[in-house]
C-alpha cells in the first residue's frame, strides 16, 4: 500500500509504499515435468483450474499464466506443479492483491529451481505480467514493495533508479487502512488514459518523463487536462521527498498535512478519486488523532489511508466506521504496521 506518491511510478518518480500485514499464501508442490507438466490451482475464492500448454485460463488466473510464460522465457522451468492459494487481501480494494499473487508465485517457482533473484528482478516479471498479459499499463511499485519490503519500515522508492530505501515509521503514529467497500469497475481504460496524458505532457515539455519537469515547465503544455495532470505529478514527487524530510525531523504533523494535499491533488488535478473515497477521507480528517488522510492506489474506488496518533487509534477506528456514509456501505478499518515482503517457507 502506498502512503504517498500516487501515479508517479510510471513517470519515473518517487513513491513511499509499505507492505501490509495481510497474506497471500501459495502452498506449492512440484508434480510432473517442470518443463511440460500441467499446473493445477485450487483457489479458495475461485475454485480449481488447470493451466495447460495453451495457457487457457479464466480472467482472474491471467496473472498466473503470465508468470509461467515470462519465467519460461527467462529460462526458468515453470510447469508441473500444484498449489492451493488463499488470501485475506480484499480484492478490488486498491491493496495490490494481484501483485501479491504474482510475487508469491514467482518466488515459489524460483525457489523450486534453486534460484534467488533480487526483489527488483522479481518485480520486473510481475510488472511485465500486468503490462503484457493483463493489459494494464501500471508501474512497478506494487510488485517491488511486495518483493522487497522491510518489517517496521515504509520505503522510499526511486522508480527511475529502481531502488528501495527503508525508512522506519515512528512509534507515536500508526497507519489506518480504510476500506470504503466501493470497488472499481472497468477502471483500466481510465488508468491507461492517465498514463497517456502524462506522456503527452512530458513530450510537450521536452523531457523523457514528468519526474524531470518543474512547475515552471507546465506553461508549455497547451492542453488544460494534460497540464492539470502534470501538475499533480510534479507536486506529488515533491510531496514524497518532503515526507522523507519530515520523518527525519520527527515532524509527523507535516507528514499528515502532505497526505491531505495529496488527496486534494488526486481529486482535483488527476481526477482519480471517487465519491466513496472523498467521503471517507472527509470523515477521517475530522476523526480523533488523525494527522492526515488520502486515497491510495489507482483510484476511483477501494481504500484510503490515514496517519493517526497511536494513542487515538481505537477512537479513530470507531469514529470513522460510525460516521462514514456512502451508498449504504459500512467501512472497514485496519490499524496496520509495516510488514516484510514475500518469503518462502519450506514444507515442515
DSSP 280-314: HHHHHHTSTTEEEEEE-SSSSSSEEEEEEEGGGHH
152 exposure class (CB count in 10 Å sphere: 0-12, 13-18, 19+):
middle
| Alpha helical stretches, state H, the chain | 62-73, 97-112, 119-128, 141-148, 188-205, 224-248, 252-268, 275-285, 313-323
Q: Which of 249, 296, 290 is nearest to 277 (CA)?
A: 296
The enclosing H or E element of 48 equals strand 47-51
- Strands laid side by side in the 24-30 sheet: 24-30, 81-87, 39-43, 47-51
Concatenated DSSP letters of 52-116: -TT----GGGHHHHHHHHHHHHTT----SEEEEEEE-SPTTSSS-HHHHHHHHHHHHHHHHTT--
Name the catalytic one among 9, 12, 142, 319. Answer: 142
The closest of 26, 44, 100, 118 to 347, measured between CA atoms, is 26
Catalytic (active site) residue 142: yes
Residue with cell 519465467: 71
> Could you give the residue numbers annotated as active site?
142
Amino acid at each position: 500500500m502506498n502512503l504517498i506518491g500516487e501515479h508517479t511510478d510510471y513517470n519515473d518518480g518517487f513513491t513511499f509504499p509499505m507492505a501490509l500485514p495481510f497474506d497471500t499464501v501459495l502452498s506449492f508442490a512440484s508434480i510432473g515435468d517442470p518443463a511440460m507438466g500441467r499446473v493445477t490451482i485450487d483457489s479458495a475464492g475461485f475454485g480449481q483450474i488447470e493451466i495447460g500448454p495453451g495457457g487457457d485460463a479464466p480472467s482472474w488466473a491471467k496473472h498466473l499464466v503470465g508468470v509461467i510464460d515470462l519465467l519460461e522465457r527467462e529460462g526458468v522451468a515453470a510447469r508441473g506443479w500444484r498449489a492451493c492459494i488463499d488470501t485475506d487481501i480484499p480484492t478490488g480494494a486498491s491493496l495490490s492483491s494481484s501483485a501479491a499473487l504474482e510475487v508469491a508465485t514467482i518466488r515459489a517457482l524460483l525457489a523450486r529451481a534453486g534460484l534467488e533473484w533480487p526483489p527488483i528482478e522479481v518485480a520486473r516479471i510481475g510488472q511485465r505480467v500486468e503490462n503484457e498479459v493483463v493489459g494494464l499499463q501500471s508501474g512497478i511499485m506494487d510488485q517491488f514493495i511486495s518483493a522487497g519490503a522491510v518489517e517496521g519500515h515504509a520505503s522510499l522508492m526511486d522508480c527511475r533508479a529502481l531502488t528501495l530505501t527503508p525508512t522506519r515509521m515512528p512509534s507515536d503514529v500508526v497507519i489506518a487502512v480504510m476500506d470504503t467497500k466501493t470497488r472499481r469497475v472497468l477502471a483500466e481504460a481510465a488508468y491507461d488514459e492517465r498514463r497517456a496524458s502524462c506522456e503527452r505532457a512530458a513530450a510537450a515539455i521536452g523531457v523523457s518523463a514528468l519526474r524531470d519537469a518543474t512547475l515552471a515547465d507546465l506553461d508549455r503544455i497547451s492542453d488544460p487536462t494534460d497540464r492539470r495532470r502534470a501538475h499533480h505529478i510534479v507536486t506529488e514527487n515533491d510531496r514524497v521527498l518532503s515526507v522523507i524530510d519530515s520523518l527525519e525531523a520527527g515532524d509527523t504533523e507535516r507528514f499528515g498535512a502532505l497526505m491531505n494535499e495529496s488527496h486534494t491533488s488526486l481529486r482535483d488535478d488527476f481526477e482519480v478519486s471517487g465519491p466513496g473515497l472523498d467521503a471517507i477521507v472527509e470523515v477521517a480528517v475530522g476523526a480523533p488523532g488523525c494527522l492526515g488522510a488520502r486515497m491510495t492506489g489507482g483510484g476511483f474506488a477501494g481504500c484510503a489511508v490515514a496517519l493517526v496518533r497511536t494513542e487515538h487509534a481505537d477512537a479513530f477506528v470507531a469514529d470513522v466506521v460510525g460516521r462514514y456514509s456512502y451508498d449504504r456501505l459500512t467501512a472497514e478499518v485496519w490499524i496496520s504496521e509495516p510488514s516484510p515482503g514475500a518469503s518462502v517457507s519450506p514444507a515442515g
